[in-house]
Structure formats: structure tokens, C-alpha cells
Amino acid sequence: MTLEGAAAALVAAGRRLDALGLVPATAGNFSVRLDARRLAVTVSGRHKGFLTADDVMVVDLDGIAEDPRKKSSAETLLHCGIYRRFPQAGAVLHGHSIANTFLSRAAGNDLTLAGYELLKAFPGLPTHDAEVTLPVIPNDQDIARMQRGLDLLWDGLPSIPPGYLIRGHGSYVWAPDMPAALMRMEALEFMLACELEERRQPR
């Protein structure tokens, strides 16, 4: 992936997720793997619906910027953690929605989605007759510590779903490329919205 191609993909993703209401204000951040040691990521503090190519920067897998004049979100380290852990990951999306914020606050250590047609957006789930359990991790201003906690969590799981929730904060998904990452984000957020709506119904 060239930097130009990555920037175009990130700008388009911002417009798509903004249109869906998943990245309000300056929330969220996105990245694309450029090669084995570098990724293109959105800069900090920009509204994702109005990104330009200049709002994309390059960092290494330790989050160190190639251009020190640009600053990425502290959560870039979570993107780096995904790329270090999963060689097949080519794109990472982080969004904030009402559904994922509310449900992650109400959940325990994980949240299970079952019986939805859109579960097929996740690998290894060919029908709706399946379930996926997403980890819900505590929010922490110490991002490096949060990533260490994720690494320990992943070490203990028999299989790792390509996504997780940060309590009261937002969702992360990843996939081999940006189209697949967008599909997973949209599918996840649709299912979370359904879960939230179900909880609103009178018992």
C-alpha cells in the first residue's frame, strides 16, 4: 500500500463512518498498514468526516512519527498493538457510537452477540446461527498499560475475535484491508444498535 493509496482509503472511511454517525466531533481514529514496520494513521484532533490527505501521517510500530510536525492520537499505540499481534491485519478502525458506549458501560468483561445475520461479517461464522464474544476492556488514559492488558488477555483466549470494546469509550475492529474493516465496523455497530434497541423494549 502506498501512502497516497492509504490516505485516500482513510479519507473515504472517515466520510463513510461520519455519515453513519459512528465518529462524532473529533472522535475515532483509523489506520492502514503500509509495510511490515509502518502504518498510515489519522492525525489527532480532526473531524473524521472532513479529513484530507494532509490529515494522514506515518508512524512505525512503536507509534513514532516519521514527521515530528504531525501528532497522532495516543491511541495509535492500540493500532500498533494490533498490527504487531496480527500480521494479517491491514486496516484498523476505531469508532464511538451511542450503542457501543452504552452497552460497554453496562457489560461485564465481554459482550456476546448471537443469532444475527451480520455475524457473517466476522471470520469463521458462515451463518446467523452462531455467536461472537467481544472483550470489553477498562478505559485507561495510560494507553501503553491498556495495550499490555490486551496482550495478556489475548494470550489467554483460545481464539481472538477481530474486535473489542473499551468500556464507555468505543469499539475497535481490524481486517486484512479497509473494505473488510468497514464491513466489520458497520456489521458490529448494527448489531450493537439492535442490542440497545432490544433493551429499550418493555419487558
| 94 annotated as a binding-site residue | yes
In angstroms, the CA 39 to CA 104 distance is 28
H or E element, residue 114: strand 110-114
Q: What span, in angstroms and rounded, lies between the C-alpha atoms of 86 and 200? A: 37
Distance from C-alpha of 23 to C-alpha of 169, rounded to nearest angstrom: 12
Q: Where are the alpha helices (DSSP H) in the chain?
A: 3-19, 76-85, 98-106, 143-155, 178-200
Q: Is there a binding annotation on residue 79?
A: no
Q: How is 62-92 classified by DSSP, letter by letter?
A: T--BSSTTS-B-TTHHHHHHHHHH-TT--EE
Residue 51 structural domain:
3-200
For the stretch 58-108, pLDDT in tens is 999 999 999 999 999 999 999 999 999 999 999 999 999 999 999 999 999
pLDDT tens, residue by residue, 142-185:
999 999 999 999 999 998 999 999 999 999 999 999 999 999 99
For residue 87 the three cell numbers come to 500480521
pLDDT confidence of 8, banded at 50, 70, 90?
very high
Q: Cβ(4)–Cβ(32) under 8 Å?
A: no
Count how many domains the chain has: 1
Q: Residue 203 pLDDT more than 80?
A: no
197 falls in which pLDDT band (50, 70, 90)? very high
Here the CATH number for the domain that contains residue 23 is 3.40.225.10
Q: What is the mean pLDDT of the chain?
A: 95
CA distance 107 to 33: 31
Closest CA to 29 of 185, 145, 154: 185
- The percent of residues above 70 in pLDDT, for the chain, comes to 100
Q: How far apart are CA 188 and CA 163, in angstroms?
A: 9
Q: Which of 197, 203, 175, 4 minimizes the C-alpha distance to 97? A: 197
Q: Helices 76-85 and 143-155: crossing angle, nearest 10°?
A: 30
Strands 56-60 and 91-95: unpaired
